Amino acid sequence: MYSEIVSRDMPIAEMLARKPKGIIFSGGPKSVHVEGAPSIDDAVYRGGVPILGICYGAQLVAQQLGGEVARSGIGEYGRTALEVTSSSALFGELPLQQDVWMSHADSIVAAPAGFKVTARTDAVPVAALEDPERAVYGVQFHPEVVHTPRGQEILKHFLYDVCGCRPSWTMVSIIEQAVDQIRAQVGDEKVICGLSGGVDSAVAAALVHKAIGEQLTCVFVDTGLLRMNEAEQVEETFRRQFQIDLVHVKAADRFVEALNDIADPERKRKIIGETFIRVFEEVAADHQDARFLVQGTLYPDIIESGTKDAAKIKSHHNVGGLPDDLQFELVEPLRNLFKDEVRVMGEELGLPEEIVWRQPFPGPGLAVRIVGTITPERLEILRRADAVVVEEIKRAGLYHDLWQSFAVLPVVRSVGVMGDERTYAYPIVIRAVTSDDAMTADWARLPYDVLERISSRLINEVPGVNRVAFDVTSKPPGTIEWE
Ligand code: XMP
Domain boundaries, the chain: 12-162, 171-356, 369-470
Q: Do the first three CATH levels of 12-162 and 171-356 match, i.e. the same topology?
A: yes
Single-letter amino acid code for the residue at 110: A
Which residue has the CA at smallest separation from atom 4 of ligand 1?
A: 480
Average pLDDT over residues 44-68: 97
Instruction: Measure CA of the first residue to CA of the last residue in the chain; give whole Å.
Output: 35
Handedness of CA 432, 435, 438, 441 (dihedral sign): negative
Least confident of 75-84, 229-238, 430-439: 229-238
Instruction: Give the ligand 1 atom nearest the CA of 479.
Output: 5
CA of 309 relative to ligand 1 center, distance in Å: 20
CA of 141 relative to ligand 1 center, distance in Å: 27
CA of 475 relative to ligand 1 center, distance in Å: 12
Tell me if 363 CB under 6 Å of ligand 1. Answer: yes
For the cut 70, the answer to whether the pLDDT of residue 208 exceeds it is yes
Q: What is the DSSP string of 397-423?
A: T-TTT-SEEEEEB-S--EEEEETTEEE
pLDDT digits (tens, 9 = 90+) for 249-284: 999 999 999 999 999 999 999 999 999 999 999 999
Tell me if 483 CB under 6 Å of ligand 1. Answer: no
pLDDT digits (tens, 9 = 90+) for 67-109: 999 987 778 888 899 999 999 999 999 999 999 999 888 999 9
CA of 314 relative to ligand 1 center, distance in Å: 9
- pLDDT grade, residue 423 (50/70/90)? very high
Predicted local distance difference test score (pLDDT) of residue 313:
77
Handedness of CA 131, 135, 136, 138 (dihedral sign): positive
pTM equals 0.77
Q: Please state at what angle helix 171-186 crosses helix 339-348, rounded to 10 degrees.
A: 90
CA of 2 relative to ligand 1 center, distance in Å: 26
Predicted local distance difference test score (pLDDT) of residue 149:
95
Q: Which of 196, 313, 316 to mutate to test the pocket of ligand 1 (most atoms within 8 A of CB)?
A: 316
For the cut 70, the answer to whether the pLDDT of residue 209 exceeds it is yes
Closest by Cα among 281, 199, 212 to 245: 212
Spatial CB neighbours of 130, under 8 Å, sequence gap ≥ 6: 88, 89, 90, 115, 116, 118, 136, 137, 138
Predicted local distance difference test score (pLDDT) of residue 134:
96
Instruction: Give the ligand 1 atom nearest the CA of 304.
Output: 3
Closest by Cα among 328, 304, 305, 325 to 219: 328
Closest by Cα among 468, 463, 398 to 434: 398
| Rounded Cα gap, residues 160 and 144, in angstroms | 16
pLDDT digits (tens, 9 = 90+) for 392-415: 999 999 999 999 999 999 999 999
Instruction: Give the ligand 1 atom nearest the CA of 361.
Output: 22
Percent of the chain with pLDDT over 70: 99
Q: Which of 302, 334, 480 to mutate to test the pocket of ligand 1 (most atoms within 8 A of CB)?
A: 480
Which residue has the CA at smallest separation from atom 21 of ligand 1?
A: 362
C-alpha to C-alpha distances, 123 to 78, 104, 311, 355, nearest whole angstrom: 13, 11, 28, 46
The arrangement of secondary structure in 369-470, i.e. its CATH architecture, is: 2-Layer Sandwich (3.30)
Domain 12-162 = CATH 3.40.190.10: no
Of residues 425 and 441, the one with the higher pLDDT is 425
Predicted local distance difference test score (pLDDT) of residue 131:
98
pLDDT digits (tens, 9 = 90+) for 308-324: 666 777 778 788 778 88
Which residue has the CA at smallest separation from atom 22 of ligand 1?
A: 362
Percent of the chain with pLDDT over 90: 76
pLDDT digits (tens, 9 = 90+) for 342-388: 999 999 998 888 889 999 999 999 999 999 999 999 999 999 999 99
Least confident of 12-16, 195-199, 440-444, 478-482: 195-199
Active site residues: 55, 142, 144
CA of 178 relative to ligand 1 center, distance in Å: 24
Predicted local distance difference test score (pLDDT) of residue 308:
67
- pLDDT grade, residue 111 (50/70/90)? very high
The listed CATH number (3.30.43.10, 3.40.50.620, 2.40.50.100, 3.30.70.60) that belongs to domain 171-356: 3.40.50.620
Tell me if 334 CB under 6 Å of ligand 1. Answer: no
Tell me if 193 CB under 6 Å of ligand 1. Answer: no
